Amino acid sequence: MAADVRDGARRYLERRRMSGVEVVYRVAAESAGEPAAPAGPPDGIPVATSPAPPAEERRGVRFSRDRHVPVQSSLFAGPAPAERFDPGANDLGSLERLVSACRRCGLCDGRTRTVFGSGSPAAKIVFIGEAPGREEDLQGLPFVGRAGQLLTKMLAAIGFTREEVYITNILKCRPPNNRDPQEDEMGACEPYLARQLEIIRPAVICALGRVAAHGLLKKGTSLSFLRRAVHYYNDIPVAVTYHPAALLRNPNLKRDAWEDLQMARRLHDERIREE
C-alpha cells in the first residue's frame, strides 16, 4: 500500500474515532510486508486485529483500582459516575454474598439461586457466558448443563482445567425460559462483573457468544465480525468465540471455535510471559 494512501486512510479513521465512531482496524499488514499495527496480538496470530486504543479510550467507563470509585473516561459512553452502582466488595466471597441478595432487576423474583461464578480467584483467564440456564439456576454454578460439559472439553482442548480458570456470566440470574438477557438486566448486573474482573485481574478474557461479547465490549456487531480480532476490556485483551450451546446446535462451527480458543490460549501465554 502506498504510504500516502495509508496515511490518508489512517487520518480518516482517526477523524472517525475522534467523532465517537468506533473503528476496528483490519490491516493487511502481512501482505503489505509491514509490521502489524502496534499493540496488536502477539506473534503467531495471523488474523485481523483491533489494536489497543489509548487506555482512557478502551472503555467508556473504568473503575479505579485503588478507590473502587467509578471514573468516567468518555463523554460518549455510560451513565454519569454518580448514577453507577458500586458494589463495594473487595473480595469474591463478599461480592458473592451481595449478589446472592441482589434485587436490582426483576430476574430475582424467578431465580432459585444466583450464579456468581466458579474457578480460581487467581485465574489468568476468565470465560464469560450469557446467563444461567435451568441446571445452573438449580445448582448455583455456571455452565453445569450440556453446554457446560462441552465448555469443559473446550477448555481441556487448550490445556486448561475448570479449576484453574474462572467461569462466570454476564447475568447472575436465570432469565425466564432462557430468553435473551434484556438491556436493563445487563445494565443492572454489569457492576458485579466489573468488580469480579477488578478483583481477579485476569490476563485475558474469553467472551462466549454474542450476548457475552456485547455485554462486555458494548459492540453491537455480529459475532462473525467480533471473532478473530483482539478486543479490549479496560487493559485486558478479549477474545470472542461461539457459545458452547451454539456449537451443540451446529457442530460445523467447532473448527472456528477451536481457532478462537487457540488464539485465547496464545494471548494468555504471551501475557503470562510478559508479567
How many other CB atoms sit within 10 Å of the CB of residue 161?
11
Residue by residue, DSSP assigns 110-159 as T-SS----EE-TT-SEEEEES---HHHHHHT-SS-SHHHHHHHHHHHHTT
In the bound state with ligand URA, the residue whose beta carbon lies nearer, of 25 and 233, is 233
Which 83-142 residues touch ligand URA, going by CB under 6 A?
Answer: 129-133, 136, 142
Helix, strand or coil for residue 88?
Answer: coil
In the bound state with ligand URA, the residue whose beta carbon lies nearer, of 78 and 145, is 145
Rounded to the nearest whole angstrom, what is the least distance from the CB of residue 129 to ligand URA in the complex?
3
In the bound state with ligand URA, the residue whose beta carbon lies nearer, of 61 and 257, is 257
Q: Alpha carbon 86 to chain centroid distance?
A: 20
Which 204-233 residues touch ligand URA, going by CB under 6 A?
Answer: none
If one asks whether residue 78 binds ligand URA (CB under 6 A), the answer comes out as no
Strand partners, 169: 129
State which residue has the least CB distance to ligand URA: 129
Rounded to the nearest whole angstrom, what is the least distance from the CB of residue 143 to ligand URA in the complex?
4
Backbone angles phi, psi at 232, to 5 degrees: -135, 135
Q: 5: part of which helix (H) or strand (E)?
A: helix 3-18
In the bound state with ligand URA, the residue whose beta carbon lies nearer, of 129 and 191, is 129
Which 167-186 residues touch ligand URA, going by CB under 6 A?
Answer: 169
In the bound state with ligand URA, the residue whose beta carbon lies nearer, of 40 and 129, is 129
Strand partners, 205: 126, 238
Rounded to the nearest whole angstrom, what is the least distance from the CB of residue 140 to ligand URA in the complex?
11
- Could you tell me how many residues of this chain bind ligand URA (CB under 6 A)? 13
262 vs 260: CA distance, rounded Å? 5
Which 33-52 residues touch ligand URA, going by CB under 6 A?
Answer: none
In the bound state with ligand URA, the residue whose beta carbon lies nearer, of 136 and 190, is 136
Backbone angles phi, psi at 205, to 5 degrees: -120, 145
Rounded to the nearest whole angstrom, what is the least distance from the CB of residue 145 to ligand URA in the complex?
6
Looking from the CA of 270 toward its CB, the CA atoms found within 13 Å total 16
**What residues make contact with ligand URA under the rule CB under 6 A?**
129-133, 136, 142-143, 145, 147-148, 169, 245
